[in-house]
Amino acid sequence: MSKECISALCYANGMHCLKLAVVGKSMHPRVLKECMRQLPVIYYHSKNTRFNCEIFDDWLLKHFIPDVRKYQEEVMKLDSEDIKAILQIHNVPAHPSAEKLISSNGKIHALFLPPNTTSIIQPMDQGVIVSCKRLYQRGYLDEVLVVLEDEDDDVNNTRGICTLANIKKYNLKSAIFNFAAAWKDVKISTLDNSWKKLLLDTEPELDFEGFEVTNFHCVLHHGRENNKTMEDVETWLEENEGDPGYQLLLAEEIADVVCAVDKEDDDAKSSEGEESCV
């Protein structure tokens, strides 16, 4: 029921998972007021809840590079001079140029994938994002779906009323903590398998044990949502799977972009007119 949106950035190399970066709309959301300093994610904000160059640059310099260095020093026992890393990402407007995405010593930098290859070879898109989202969806159902053992309660629609109340209470805070928990529960084997397509040219072995369509269907029926079919569940899961590799804009966001372009054109024309007068 909520119309709120967030964007999340997942990063891992098979063994090392960075804390999620999440972008919301408000700088200080009211629901996060009491826990802003204890969030399990790195929180940013932007008008359209999207990552942009400034946010990504801040994330890289303040979180990615320091965290990678710390991991290689403490876990891999490398000397500071031997620390190297490549951040593999797809090329979208929200990412700064590769020349800017680099550490001060030049040993940690970004490498962009070729255009239109995200769904083919991007490791995060080889089962990792899908697994995380399914874990999130299961956590969502566990939080909002009310299961009552007493048949009389369901006759009086108590279960439905309680479930609806839980859905209405589900907010930005719920989503952030749920998604952070889902990211933490992604299996190491899923992260390892995600590299097979890029490095070995073999299809990744997706492990959805406990999170297949049939599992979600059973959960819903246990909560007496008996009107939901397997096709309904499959559609719900597929609508939220994967990373399209580009930003999905709402109608008002498209209008904002068009207006911004028109304004730039008008400003440019005004400048040309002033210059010609001079």
pLDDT tens-digit map of 177-192: 999 999 999 998 898 8
Comparison of pLDDT for 42 and 246, the residue scoring more = 42
Q: How many helices (H) and strands (E) does the chain have?
A: 12, 5
| Distance separating alpha carbons of residues 181 and 142, to the nearest angstrom | 13
* DSSP SS3 for 247: coil
Model confidence pLDDT, tens digit, residues 6-47: 999 998 887 888 999 999 999 999 999 999 999 999 999 999
- Report which secondary-structure segment, H or E, holds 45: strand 42-45
Given pLDDT bands bounded at 50, 70 and 90, which one contains residue 277?
A: very low
Given pLDDT bands bounded at 50, 70 and 90, which one contains residue 261?
A: very low
Spell out the domain ranges in the chain. Answer: 113-246, 248-278
Is-contact 23 49, C-beta < 8 A?
Answer: yes
The DSSP result for 226-257, as a single string, is: TT--HHHHHHHHHTT-S--SS----HHHHHHH
Least confident residue range of 33-42, 82-91, 245-254: 245-254
| Distance separating alpha carbons of residues 115 and 112, to the nearest angstrom | 9
Closest CA to 65 of 50, 82, 85: 85
CA angle centred on 142, ends 140 and 146, rounded to 5°: 115
| Distance separating alpha carbons of residues 229 and 235, to the nearest angstrom | 10
Is-contact 83 73, C-beta < 8 A?
Answer: yes
Is-contact 119 246, C-beta < 8 A?
Answer: no
Longest dimension (CA), the chain: 84
| Distance separating alpha carbons of residues 273 and 183, to the nearest angstrom | 54
Q: Could you tell me whether strands 21-24 and 42-45 are parallel, antiparallel, or unpaired per DSSP bridges? A: parallel
| Distance separating alpha carbons of residues 45 and 23, to the nearest angstrom | 5
pLDDT exceeds cutoff 80 at 195: yes
* pTM given for the model: 0.79
Q: Where are the beta strands (DSSP E) in 162-257?
A: none
161-180 CB burial, b ≥16 within 10 A, e <16: ebbeeeeeebebbbbbbbbb
Q: In percent, how much of the chain has pLDDT > 90?
A: 37
What is the phi/psi pair of residue 93, to 5°? -60, -25
